[in-house]
Amino acid sequence: MADKTLNVICICGSLRRGSYNRMVMNALPGLAPANLKLTEAPPFADFPLYNADVQDKGIPPAVLTLAEAVRAADGVIFNSPEYNFSMPGGLKNAIDWVSRVPNQPFAGKPVALQSAANGTLGGGRMQYDLRRSMIFLDAMTLNKPEILSAIARKRSMPRPARSPISRRSASSSSSSKPLPSSSSASAASTEQRAE
């Protein structure tokens, strides 16, 4: 069991180019054990706003793609900023859509939450709201460790090098390398959004 490769998809709650959460997400493969394969989830940026009338005409294919990626994964890692003390609207919209797919795929799914935000609480309030949504969807959300990166803008600034060793480690940071996408459909948007 310890040797089994675990396929985990990462969902970035920020859509902006240069997102700090995307930087954190892209740094994860360098920190993960060898048997953890991390890929970026298919994109949700173009989902329509959730509307039951739209759903009645058929769940959009992009929603089904994300839902099936969640279903197929051994786990999900969210990396998201906090917007107005909660989760970004685009991310909530994506979760609302995926939750309407029959046999909704978050049920029983191991889920980890991570956040980076410019506030001093590092997105903690977003995590409480995201956790509540995951509770409703019967996900198995990890309690610990709590991963919060506060004052992200300051942390992302390059620090003045104090020695040749710190200069070398700064330039070899893995945060600029985008995560592979879990579908070819999302590859283009990943490259487009990654800094």
Ligand X SMILES: Cc1cc2nc3c(=O)[nH]c(=O)nc-3n(C[C@H](O)[C@H](O)[C@H](O)COP(=O)(O)O)c2cc1C
Binding residues vs ligand X (CB under 6 A): 14, 16, 19-21, 81-85, 116-119, 152
Give whichever of 100 and 153 is closer to ligand X, judged by the CB atom: 153
Give whichever of 40 and 82 is closer to ligand X, judged by the CB atom: 82
Could you give the dihedral angle defined by the CA atoms of residues 117, 122, 126 and 128, in that order, rounded to the nearest 10 degrees? 170
* Minimum distance, C-beta of residue 152 to ligand X, in the bound complex (Å): 6
Give whichever of 66 and 116 is closer to ligand X, judged by the CB atom: 116
Write the DSSP string, 142-179.
--S--EEE-SHHHHHSPPPP-SHHHHHHHHT-GGGSPP
* Minimum distance, C-beta of residue 81 to ligand X, in the bound complex (Å): 3
Please, which residues bridge with residue 80 across strands? 115
Phi-psi map region of 84: left, alpha, beta (phi>0 left; psi -120 to 50 alpha): left
| Paired tokens of 17 | 């180019």
Helix pair angle (89-99, 124-136), 10° resolution:
10
* Minimum distance, C-beta of residue 88 to ligand X, in the bound complex (Å): 8
Residue with tokens 């996408």: 181
Give whichever of 110 and 119 is closer to ligand X, judged by the CB atom: 119
Cα 29–chain centre separation: 13
- Ranked by CB distance to ligand X, the top (closest) residue is 119
Give whichever of 83 and 106 is closer to ligand X, judged by the CB atom: 83
- Measured between alpha carbons, how far is residue 41 from residues 53, 62, 91, 134, 191 in Å? 26, 11, 12, 17, 13
* Minimum distance, C-beta of residue 91 to ligand X, in the bound complex (Å): 11
Give whichever of 38 and 67 is closer to ligand X, judged by the CB atom: 38
* Minimum distance, C-beta of residue 28 to ligand X, in the bound complex (Å): 14
Report the distance separating Cα 136 and Cα 144, nearest Å.
19
